[in-house]
Amino acid sequence: MGGLYRLRLQFRHMLRFRVSFFFAFVVLLFSAAGAVLSEAATPKAASTEADLRELRSQIEKIQAQMTQDVAERDRLARGLRAVEKSAGAARIELQRVQAEREGSELRSNELLLQKQEREKSLAQERENLSAQIQAAYRIGQQEPLKLLLNQRAPEHAARLLAYYGYFGRLRADQISHIEGYVSELIQLEVEVTVQKEQLTKLAEKKSAQVNQLDKARTERGRVLAALTLESQSRAANFARLKREQSALEKLLSELRRVTPKFPIDIKSAFGLLRGKLAWPVEGKIVSRFGESRAGAVKWDGVLITAGRGTPIKAIHQGRVVYADWLAGLGLLIILDHGDGYISLYAHNEQLFQSVGARVVAGETIASVGDTGGRSVPQLYFEIRHMAKAVNPEPWFRDRAP
C-alpha cells in the first residue's frame, strides 16, 4: 500500500513538472514572437509614413502640373482660379477673424461681469468695515483697557477681551479682503482695456477681409461674364466642356498611376454598400448621370443644388487623394475608398481636408459653393470604379438627397 502511495506522489510531481515546463515554453515562445513582431512593425510603420510622404509629394506635383496646364491653355480659367482661390482664402480668414472676435467679446463680457462682482464685494466689505470702525470709535481708543477696568468679574472681562480680539482680527481680514479686491479690480481694468483694443483691431481686420472678399467677388463676376460671352456659341461651349472633361480624365489617370500603393489602411467594403450609403449633402438634384450637357458631353455624376456653406459629408471611409482647384469643377476633393473606388466632390466653397488625410463615413470634408464658374451654390458628385464613372443614385438608400 505504501509503495502504491509513493508511486502516485512521483507521478504527480512528474506531471506538475511537465505542465510547468510546457507553460514556461509557451510564455518564452510568445515573448520571442512578440519581440520579432515589434521589431518588424517599426520598419513597416516607418515605411508606410515614408510612402505617404512620397505620394503626397507626387500628388502635389500633379496638382502643380494641372495648374500649369490650365495657365497655358486657358487664360479665363486661369483668371477664374486665381480669383476663386483668393475669395476662398479671404473667406477663411474672415471666418477666423470673426471667431476670434466672438471669443474676444465673450472674454470681455466675462471680465465685465467679474468686475461688477468684485465691485459689489468691495462695497460690502467697505460697509462692514465702516460699521466696525464706527463701533470702535464709540468704544474709544483705549478699548481693551476700558473693557478690563469696567468689568468687576475677571472671567467676564477675559471673555469680552477675547471677543474684542476676534473683532479686531475680523477688521484686519476685512481690510485684507478690500486690498485684494482693489488689486483684482486694477488687474481687471487692465484686461478690459486690452480686450477693447483687441476688439478694435479685429474689427479693422474684419473690415479689410470683407473688402478683399468683395473685391474678389467683383473680379469673379467680371471673369464669369467673359466666360459666358466666350461660350455663347454651342461650338465654343462644347469645346470648353471637352477641355474640362479631358483635364479631369488626365487628373484621374495620373492619380491612378501614383495611388495604387497609397496606404488606405482599411479593408474597403465599398463594393458591398450599393443601396446603403447616405447622400453627401441635402439638396435637390438638378442634373442626373447620363444626361446631356452639350452635344456628346454628358454628366458623369449628379449636380445637387444646396445652400451655400452646407456641410458636405464623406459617403464612406477612405483617404483624400486630391484637394485643389480644377478647371470646370472649382475647388475639388477626391476620396480613395480602396478596391478601385473613388468619390468626387466639386464646386466647393471650402475644403476642410488635405491630401493624405484619413476620413470616416459622415465626416465633413467640404462645404457647398459655386467655384468653377457655377452661377448658384451646387455640389457636383461622382462615384467611379477603376476610373469609370458609374451612376451614383443606386448607391444611396434614399432616392433623393
Tens-digit pLDDT profile for residues 55-102: 677 777 776 766 666 655 566 777 777 778 777 777 777 777 777 777
Torsion of CA 280, 281, 287, 289, to 10 degrees: 10
Tens-digit pLDDT profile for residues 303-337: 999 999 999 999 999 999 999 999 889 999 999 99
* Residue 117 cell numbers, joined: 462682482
Helices (H), 231-313: 234-258
Q: Give mean pLDDT, residues 390-401.
A: 94
- Does the pLDDT of residue 31 top 50, yes or no? no
Helix (H, G, I), strand (E, B), or coil: what is residue 36? Answer: helix
Tens-digit pLDDT profile for residues 138-170: 554 545 555 555 555 555 555 555 555 655 666
* Residue 368 cell numbers, joined: 457647398
Burial class (CB in 10 A: 0-12, 13-18, 19+), 331: buried
Q: How far is CA 280 from CA 61, 345, 391, 393, in A?
A: 29, 9, 15, 12
Q: Give mean pLDDT, residues 25-49.
A: 45
Tens-digit pLDDT profile for residues 204-242: 777 776 777 777 777 777 777 777 776 666 677 777 788
Instruction: Report whether 364 contacts 313 (CB < 8 A).
Output: yes
pLDDT of residue 59: 74
Q: Vertex 43, ends 42 and 46: CA angle to 5°?
A: 90
* Residue 361 cell numbers, joined: 463615413
**Helix 75-139 crosses helix 154-230 at what angle (to 10 degrees)?**
170
The whole-angstrom separation of Cα 106 and Cα 108 is 5
Q: How far is CA 385 from CA 254, 340, 359, in A?
A: 15, 5, 19
Task: Say what percent of the chain tops pLDDT 70.
Answer: 65
Name the pLDDT band for 262 (thresholds 50, 70, 90). low
Tens-digit pLDDT profile for residues 350-383: 999 999 899 999 999 999 999 988 889 999 999 9
- Give the type of residue at 209: Q
Pairing of strands 302-305, 358-359: unpaired
